[in-house]
Amino acid sequence: MKKLTTGCTLLLLSTVISACSGGSDTVDETSTEETVESAASSGSHMGLVNPNLASEQELLALEGMSEGTVSAITDARPFFDMVTLDNTLDRLLESEMRATLYEHAWIPLNLNAASEEEMLLIPGVGDRMAHEFDEYRPYDGMERFRREIGKYVDTDELERLAQYVFVPVELNTASDEEILHIPGVGDRMLHEFKEYRPYASMEQFKREIGKYVDDSELARLSRYVTLAEN
């Protein structure tokens, strides 16, 4: 009887350990799936929250943000450049607080069109680096940005800076990956972008994609695309 009891105890203990181990794996997998899904739907670009796309909850989670500040952003968006956003926040946040905010929230700058004023809003960018950004225009892609700016900063700083900028993708030749890198574009909009290729003009792009989004969203998306000259 004693041997039977001991055996049952060991069997029960083994079952509990096994169940706990299996439960732990299940939780990890679910957590990973939720993280991936959350990242896919987030208004973020390379780790930075995009004020044009982020939810009110995402914006409120940022340091220094109040409900009033969030309302000011959501009421005025979309913003087509960082200077406009900065001017909107100027009456609500001190310059130091805005600088801290831009370490976590940002509207990507078009490397080929951004003004010096916009470039200087990037945390850690001063006159010298703004000059280097401008020096190598026009950029034909982010690889050139990394190659040229990589002459002046280390790899970690280069990747940090890359979060803040973009080069418009060519509508008729861009890969799926390049199109999906446009903030707010998912599989459905990728399909629509490709559906109407080849585009003869930006007017055609606006006409076709304007069937699926409103004028403000169309204007926001148009910032991220270009057409090569014939």
Query: Could you report the per-residue pLDDT of 3-35, keeping only the tens digit for each?
Result: 444 444 444 334 333 434 443 333 333 333 333
- Is there a domain that residue 102 lies in? yes
**Which of 119, 141, 166 lies at the terminal end of a domain, its last residue?**
166
Q: How many domains does the chain divide into? A: 2
Are 126 and 216 within one domain?
A: no
139 assigned to some structural domain: yes
CB 171 within 8 A of CB 224: no
- What is the rounded CA–CA span in Å between residue 150 and residue 198? 34
Burial class (CB in 10 A: 0-12, 13-18, 19+), 177: exposed
Tell me the per-residue pLDDT of 148-207, one tens digit each, with 9 for 90 and over: 999 999 999 999 999 999 999 999 999 999 999 999 999 999 999 999 999 999 999 999
Residue 127 and residue 104 in contact, taking contact as beta carbons nearer than 8 Å: no
Examine residue 110 and state whether it is found in any structural domain, yes or no: yes
Same domain, 97 and 187: no
Q: Backbone phi, then psi, for 5, in 5-degree steps?
A: -65, -45
Which range of residues forms the domain containing residue 81?
48-166
How is residue 190 written in tokens?
A: 């990728």
Residues 6+ apart with CB under 8 A from 48: 104, 105, 106, 163, 164
Shared domain check, 159 and 173: no
Residues 117 and 208 reside in one and the same domain: no
In angstroms, rounded to a whole number, what is the distance separating the alpha carbons of residues 169 and 226?
6
Place of tokens 């010096």: 116
What is d(CA 12, CA 222) in angstroms, rounded to the nearest whole number? 63
